[in-house]
Structure 1
Amino acid sequence: MPDVDVALEGRLAEDTALLIEAVREAGALALSLFRTDVRNWIKGKSSPVSEADLAVNDLLARRLRSATPNYGWLSEESADDPARLARPRVWIVDPIDGTRSYLAGQEDWSVSVGLVEGDAPLLGAVFAPVTGELFFAARGEGARRNDAPIRAAAGARLDPGRIVGPKPLVQRLGEALEPGPLHPRIGSLALKICRAAEGRLDAAFAGGHSHDWDLAAADLIVHEAGGTMTSLSGEAVVYNRPEVKHEPLVAAGRERHARIVAHFRRSPPV
């Protein structure tokens, strides 16, 4: 883990203000292009990307990187620079998390930006521009939505109507899962985790294709809201590694999270 420069400790207030301002500005730009005829295409095997993703990424890069030239940068829409691995702090960015929903004109997308120190999130902001919800957390200071404190739902009950994630993964809860329909899909993984952080969902699963940029901001938010997010076997999520892809994860309040992890330890997914 890179050493954290003592001089950085005094930057937390500046970085917080910078992050919130930049995320709001990025959200406004994304919203101005929302439900317009933006050019889009497929990258890799099946991941959609659009002119809006790139425009928002460029805005965030200008705002954040120019103000913090000594920080690293990792974004879904930027070429990866291995120099980030030696930086004490790294911006981890998903310009539009939930691009499929964005292109379909649906509301469930977000702008997600985390600031990682060493290998763990220090600041996290997830902004849902359509609904005007800004989720924010700073390490050790709690989590909030639009300045109101939020808390993950207490209890251990596994109600499928309050759990979101890939259907096969949720169904692996088997007999522990109460009868009932599954919750509708949420396009943005970061927003899905934030819904668990604020107690509107009991749990949120991530499949085995999530990356640092999907997770870093929301991870801190759910932890600061009294919940936790780990692998299905209970291992903490580590950021800013050479490999930024993660195995399946679950986020929930602590009691419910412990029950889910205990279940998957007994019956791991194949």
Structure 2
Amino acid sequence: MSESILDDAQLASRLAIAAGEHLLRLREHGLLPATCLGAHGDRLANTLLTDLLRRHRPDDGLLSEEEAADEARLSRRRVWIVDPLDGTREYAEGRADWAVHVGLVKDGVADVACAVCLPALDQTFSGAAPPALPAALEGPLKILVSRTRAPRIAEQVAQRLGAQLIPMGSAGAKAMAVVRGEAHAYLHAGGQYEWDSCAPVGVALAAGLHASRIDGSPCRYNQTEVFMPDLLICRPELAASLLSTIAECLRHEEFHHV
């Protein structure tokens, strides 16, 4: 690859695809048991991504799930945030709902140079060339949630709005399902980090979706504390209703805990 002559968006997509191809080959070889496949894949993809980013964007900061956070990034205006294998459990189980995230942040905001690769589906989404937002699905709202820890707030929102909760793996896979028009929203609360949402948020915003924290505040990246526990990605016409319902549910919870 000649990454040095690629622009940022091209680099993000090229790296996400390359890491995804390596992960697919590793899984298809079948030489590792499922119990260690995910961890090995994480390390493999992380080495590829971080080595190439440090080689071709040496002046930028870098934050990866698989490495200790380098505090020097906090003084950089440009920072790459990567999740080499988002959905480790799904990857090891042979499922398709896992992803590779490569995102560029400028002054704390996810840039269009964000890419989410879904290797098992042979699909890559770039914030620089997002797909056109399809027409909304008819029928009840479909809200994507975690397979392993669907948040209570999502259950409450679904009950109030008569929505259907759909479990899915990787945050990137869920966000791109909304981009593709396969669901109306993705709602998460209770635990995520910057690398879980950075690239998906960059692509989602570029595609015309709403993306924010569940209190409606913008997603800010390259922070001292990289814990970012909640996220809402949804069709823009649903944002006000969903945020209002979330706020009502949270107030109800606070009242009952007084």
Output the CA distance in 1 between the equivalents of 2:170 and 2:217.
23
Q: Deviations over 1:92-131 (max 9, x none)?
A: 0000000000111111101111000110011110001111
8 Å Cα contact 1:152/1:253 also seen in 2: no
Which of 145, 153, 162 lines up with 1:178 in the alignment? 162
Give the aligned partner of residue 63 of structure 2: 74
SS of the equivalent of 1:267 reads: helix
| Structure 1 match to 2:43 | 54
Where does structure 1 differ by over 3 angstroms across 4 or more consecutive aligned residues?
37-42, 152-155
CA distance in 2, matches of 1:253, 1:263: 15
Aligned residue identity for 1:169: I
State the partner residue of 1:15.
8
If the length of structure 2 is used for normalisation, what is the TM-score?
0.86
For residues 14-53 of structure 1, give each alpha carbon's deviation from its aligned partner in whole angstroms, at most 9, with x where no partner exists. 22222222111111101111152436779xxxxx951111
Counterpart among 139, 164, 168 of residue 152 in structure 2: 168
For residue 33 of structure 1, the aligned residue among 8, 20, 26 is: 26
Give the paired residue count. 243
Choose from 249, 252, 256 the match for 2:238.
256
Q: 1:167 to 1:265 in 2, by over 3 A?
A: closer
- The answer on whether the counterparts of 1:153 and 1:253 sit within 8 Å (CA) in structure 2 is no
Task: Using the aligned pairs only, state the percent identity.
Answer: 31
The reply on whether 1:207 has 2:197 as its aligned counterpart is no
Instruction: State the 1:249 CA deviation.
Output: 1.7
Distance in 2, matches of 1:88 and 1:207, equals 28
Letter in 2 for 1:137: G
Q: Tell me, what secondary structure is at the counterpart of 1:240?
A: coil
The aligned runs of 1:104-143 (5 Å cut-off) are 104-122=93-111, 123-138=113-128, 143=129
CA contact (8 A) 1:210 1:246 kept: yes
Instruction: Give the match's secondary structure for 1:79.
Output: coil
Structure 2: gaps (5+ residues): none
One-letter code aligned to 1:118 = D
Letter in 2 for 1:58: T
Letter aligned with residue 232 of structure 1: I
Unaligned 5+ runs, structure 1: 1-10, 43-47
Contact 1:88 1:118 in 2 (8 A): yes
Task: Find the partner of 2:175 among 163, 186, 193.
Answer: 193
Q: Could you tell me whether the CA contact under 8 Å between 1:211 and 1:245 is conserved in 2? A: yes
Tell me if structure 2 keeps the 8 A contact 1:40–1:50. no
Deviations 1:60-110 (A, max 9, x none): 011111001000010000111000001111110000000000111111101
State which drifts further: 13-22 or 90-99.
Answer: 13-22
